[in-house]
Amino acid sequence: MEVVILLGGPGSGKGTTAERVRGRLGYIHISTGDMLREAVRNGSDVGLKADLYMKRGELVPDDIMIEIVVERMRRGNKDSKYLLDGFPRTSEQATLLEKSLADEKGEISQVLFLDAPSELLMKRLTGRRICRECGINYHVETMRPKKEGVCDACGGELYQRPDDHESTIKNRLDVYGRQTESLISRYKKKGMLKRIDSSVAVDNIVNVVVDILEG
Ligand code: AP5
């Protein structure tokens, strides 16, 4: 079992990059944000608990997160390759991931840090709109749909994520600085971290990531 960790602030492009890389290289994309949003939509116990934290831009407690991710990875086999988007986000999550991989004889092969300035992240997220049906991302200024509010690909309705309002984004950036940035030095010390400039065009980021993963 092989794991690639995508680290980076909210809006740094973790989800966009993972979606483009996954099909090309045969990785399974695990986005903890998407899993939680699905749980919220389904009204499950986990979803009801998680919703309270996500609305405020805070982290969902570690015990819930670890259970969700470990359960998802157990569905794979020893040859599975995972792209982890949004996990780990705290030192506790990182420690438990390492322990769980040791038990399964798996390893973290790369830690890719998508880095962009916070002002750019704020612009990307306040303008992001998402299709309710197929999940494609748009942006009100840089990636506008042909018809306002309607998805070009499937005609679905475009919506704004509830945590993509300016005050919640500020909190998400602050939480990232307080709780997740320490993982950058953790993996740097282990000699595993590769910094990638994510303020450039998506295609360029994807090419860099593919080159790294293809070794
Ligand atoms: P999550 O969904 O993981 O949110 P996030 O980390 O804030 O990241 P985003 O999904 O907003 O951004 P991204 O980096 O994936 O960027 P994207 O590619 O979408 O988590 C949401 C919440 O769930 C958290 O706040 C927390 O409450 C909870 N949670 C999740 N995991 C957790 C965990 N492990 N522990 C505890 N709680 C957890 O791109 C953003 C926008 O920019 C898009 O519109 C895109 O089109 C655009 N864009 C991307 N790249 C480029 C580019 N290169 N150029 C131009 N535009 C670009």
Kindly list the protein residues whose Cβ atom lies closer than 6 A to any atom of ligand 1. Answer: 8, 10-16, 32-33, 36, 53-54, 57-60, 65, 86-87, 89, 93, 124-125, 128, 137, 139, 163, 172, 198, 201-202, 205
Q: CA gyration radius for the chain?
A: 17
From 20, 36, 100, 112, mutation site for ligand 1 pocket: most ligand atoms within 8 A of C-beta:
36
pLDDT at 169 over 90: yes
pLDDT at position 78, please?
85
pTM > 0.85: yes or no: yes
172 given a catalytic annotation: yes
Structure tokens at 87: 């996990």
Mean pLDDT of 90-99: 94
Least confident of 102-106, 129-133, 180-184: 102-106
> pLDDT digits over 40-59, tens only?
999 999 999 999 999 999 99
The one catalytic residue in 14, 20, 124, 129 is: 14
pLDDT at position 113, please?
97
From 14, 87, 122, mutation site for ligand 1 pocket: most ligand atoms within 8 A of C-beta:
14
